[in-house]
Amino acid sequence: MVRVRKIEIVSCLLLQIVVAATAANVTYDHRALVIDGKRKILISGSIHYPRSTPEMWPDLIQKSKDGGLDVIETYVFWNGHEPHKNKYNFEGRYDLVKFVKLVAKAGLYVHLRIGPYACAEWNYGGFPVWLHFIPGIKFRTDNEPFKAEMQRFTAKIVDLMKQEKLYASQGGPIILSQIENEYGNVDSSYGAAGKSYMKWSASMALSLDTGVPWNMCQQGDAPDPIINTCNGFYCDQFTPNSNNKPKMWTENWSGWFLGFGDPTPYRPVEDLAFAVAIFYQRSGTFQNYYMYHGGTNFERTSGGPLISTSYDYDAPIDEYGLVRQPKWGHLRDLHKAIKLCEDALLATDPTVTSLGSNLVASEYKTSSGLCAAFLANIGTESDATVTFNGNSYHLPAWSISILPDCKNVAFNTAKINAATESTTFARQALKPNADSSEELGSQWSYIKEPIGISKADAFVKPGLLEQINTTADESDYLWYSLRMDIKGDETFLDEGSKAVLHVQSIGQVVYAFINGKLAGSGNGKQKISLDIPINLVTGKNTIDLLSVTVGLANYGAFFDLFGAGITGPVTLKSAKSGSSIDLSSQQWTYQVGLKGEDTNLGSGDSSEWVSKSPLPTMQPLVWYKTTFDAPSGSDPVAIDFTGTGKGIAWVNGQSIGRYWPTSIARNNGCTDLCNYRGSYSSNKCLKNCGKPSQTLYHVPRSWIKPSGNTLVLLEEMGGDPTKISFATKQTGSSLCLTVSQSHPAPVDSWASDSKILNRTSPVLSLKCPVSTHVITSINFASFGTPTGTCGSFSHGRCNSPRSLSIVRKACVGSRSCKVEVSTRVFGDPCRSLAKSLAVEASCS
């Protein structure tokens, strides 16, 4: 213990020393942010600190740095920091100061988006729900109670950052802060009060005197000196609202978020790189990947409705913290190429010339001899060969070539030099506690959650209550319960006391129980309409409706008022006669949350766990508990919830979020190989149609002990917990890459003074990602006209017979290898054809 503390103290001191660097003066001009008098080309990436753990942060930040980032951008999450009014939380995943200091320690800058409205697919857009209950409050408009709270929290964060000397003006890493978020997208809905609120936000922020610039994103009329910035899949066409402001892009969506019930979006890296390159080509100087690491919506932090627990986002670093290849590597190469152009880019404005239809050259050339150029083919159909400064260049459709010396190509967005690395989930049985002699599967104990009202604080109200107003989002769950006496001769009854229960809800899930038995359920984003055939009995009956939220809305004008829950009508009707009775305005009994939530069953501590068999399965509302040993090794861990229905899970008392493997993605709109050419949109490239949206749920390693861990599930729908398993995510047992003769030489063959080194042929280079691994076999190699992708390569008609032996000789037994892609090395198997080298290798 003492040793650990010493290390902590030392590392704290170290952090302080690093942060106590000299103050920097951050300003801007029409080209760029200016730090200590020098314009900067900055490449930024979003990492939201509560979407990973403090234990993961150093590695995520290092991988960001290695990927060529200069800046980490994050929102500040008000509801995480102030879950109850005036009760602050800056601990654990919410240790903002630690996060910012770690970024500083890595030598990177921070863009702090204080908001405090975040959006971000985060519960209620980041607003604490208690805010909603302040009398007279109206969110995001010229409303005194709201402005008072917004100012108080914004000032609190600025003061905290100042105290810790985290602004660049104090020697810290924060070079930019954001106020509000995309308000310009919705402000017209707020009328004149919206405009005055926006202006107030700006001057309130400026009054806090951070010593560094502020930005507003998607706010075309952001008042001076606030920089208005762009968000979107492309921002090359954006111009700031003043000639004195630089062109900045605060959200370049690297993929898109996943919703329960939706297929999984992905964004091809060729298109992402194209978007970035054309932005810098067209004079942009700051660009941020949203997200660079998306992470996980632990606990009940996901926004809504129906945002999944995974916030992977197809980002360059995946949910689990592993680099996603070739995305990460191709962007790293892009960043190097852009940085090779930095001096020229910042020294002057470009000369733009057309090289043909959809073909544009931008040359940044100074009298002092600096020169960098970008050649763009923005056509979506055909490759082109262009002549620029007397030289000829091959430009694939929808691609940009970067020429740091105006002559040699360092990078083309459509020609990938980074290998694809496979990642796999290795299944591991849920290993029972080693101390126990019992068999796997009999390890589970359970507690049944009562159906209907069971808590003393239940209350009666006439009519159907809106859910968020009733629960204050203290829980996902709200019971609406009704007792009914049935005589048997009611007109809404059919023969045998049958009827149809009609329930209307605005979301997101409803379970209907009749006399303690589940009769039906449904779910939806905004509207659920259920017609459930039921059987009543003569005498007393109970109708218990359990309404469940899955993330509160986070986007749109007045999203805070969208509401949730059973809004009605709730009726009983005869299937035959059409006669019905409206129950909506009856005296309903309400219970906020579940009994097991009140007694904190998620912690696992309770004397009530029942371990005698049989284990009840496929029944709604059962709490389950088991113990397990950590999956071996140090790879990231996931739980595969296949076999269960829907609920919330806890590992050692920490909520890993909502699980819902039975939420199936719609069965259309997916493409395995999405054409990256042409404008991307969030539904252009989808996978996983017809399959569960999310079966695997991240359990951070630091939450697991070597043995004796507790896993608790609240299964609301009905499932079999003995079916769940662990998986560890492994990276890089196979590597694949295709490099053509027209690929640029690796960007590493450029010296930092933007001079190309001697070797200019394309090179296929491979490296096992795990440092202790070597390339053990070459499963495929062909120099010629190979086709296919990783796992399905095949020879074309043209193939150098020496391909395999040459690549084997160069690679097997080493961790990394480089093979020149040329006829000098492989001979020429087909003279007139353009050739490439495709390789698939295994590492272990």
Q: Is 231 a binder of ligand GAL (CB under 6 A)?
A: yes
**Nearest residue relative to ligand GAL (C-beta):** 119
- What tokens appear for 138 in the block? 């109206």
Give the shortest CB-256-to-ligand GAL separation in angstroms: 7
Reduced to 3 states (helix: H, G, I; strand: E, B; else coil), residue 835 is coil
CA distance linking residue 261 with residue 524, whole number of Å: 9
Closest CB 679 distance from ligand GAL, rounded Å: 17
Runs of H (alpha helix) within 91-176: 96-105, 144-163
Q: Where are the beta strands (DSSP E) in 62-192?
A: 71-75, 109-115, 174-179
Q: Residue 552 half-sphere exposure, CB side, CA atoms within 13 Å? A: 29
Task: Please tell me what DSSP assigns to residue 185.
Answer: G
CA dihedral 345, 348, 350, 351 (to 10 degrees): -140
CA 339 to chain CA centroid, nearest Å: 27
CA distances for 38 relative to 29, 70, 248, 706, angstroms? 10, 15, 17, 50
Of 191, 19, 121, 223, the residue nearest 682 (C-alpha): 121
**Contact pick of 182, 383, 494, 582 for ligand GAL (by CB under 6 A):** 182
Question: Is position 52 an interface residue for ligand GAL (rule: CB under 6 A)?
Answer: no
Q: Are 729 and 635 in contact (CB under 8 A)?
A: yes
Q: What is the CA radius of gyration of the chain?
A: 29
Long-range CB contacts for residues 660-664, cutoff 8 Å, separation at least 24: 660/260, 660/308, 660/550, 660/693, 660/694, 661/692, 661/694, 661/695, 662/692, 662/717, 662/719, 663/260, 663/261, 663/523, 663/692, 663/693, 663/694, 664/261, 664/690, 664/691, 664/692, 664/693
Angle between helices 96-105 and 144-163 (to 10 degrees): 40
CB of residue 290 vs ligand GAL: minimum separation in angstroms?
A: 6
User: 715 with 548: CB under 8 angstroms?
Assistant: no
Strand 71-75, strand 42-47: pairing: parallel
Q: Rounded CA gap, 753 and 745, in Å? A: 17
Q: How far is the CB of 488 from ligand GAL (least distance, A)?
A: 54
The DSSP secondary-structure symbol of 307 reads B
**Do 596 and 447 meet the contact criterion of CB atoms below 8 Å apart?**
yes
Task: Given the residues 251, 299, 597, 716, select the one marked as catalytic.
Answer: 251
Residues 252-291 that bind ligand GAL (CB under 6 A): 257
**Of residues 120 and 512, the one with the C-beta less far from ligand GAL:** 120
Is the preceding peptide bond at 569 cis, omega within 30 degrees of 0? Answer: yes
Give the pairing type, strands 214-217 and 174-179.
parallel
Least Å distance, CB 126 to ligand GAL, is 9
Helix 144-163 with 191-207: angle, nearest 10 deg: 20
The token pair at 552 is 């509160």
Interacting residues of 704 by C-beta distance below 8 A, sequence separation 6+: 630, 637, 651, 652
Structure tokens at 326: 């070739």
319 is an active site residue: no
Residue 825 host element (H or E): helix 823-826
Dmax (CA) for the chain in angstroms is 97
* DSSP string for 489-556: --TT-BGGGEEEEEEEESSEEEEEEETTEEEEEEEESS-EEEEEEEE--SEEEEEEEEEE-SS-B-SS
Cα-Cα end-to-end distance for the chain: 37
The helix (run of H) or strand (run of E) holding residue 204 is helix 191-207
Least separation, in Å, of the C-beta of 220 and ligand GAL? 15
Please give the residues from 110 up to 129 whose contact with ligand GAL meets the rule CB under 6 A: 118-121
Do you find a cis peptide bond into 616, omega within 30 degrees of 0? no
Give the contacts of 200 (CB within 8 A, at least 6 positions apart).
Answer: 142, 147
Rounded Cα distance between 694 and 638, Å, is 11
- Residue listed under structure tokens 């690796």: 746
Any residues with CB less than 8 A from the CB of 437 and at least 6 apart, and which?
none
Number of DSSP helices (H) and strands (E) in the chain, helices first? 13, 43
By CB under 6 A, name the binding residues for ligand GAL: 118-121, 181-182, 231, 251, 257
Q: Which residues participate in catalysis according to the annotation?
A: 182, 251
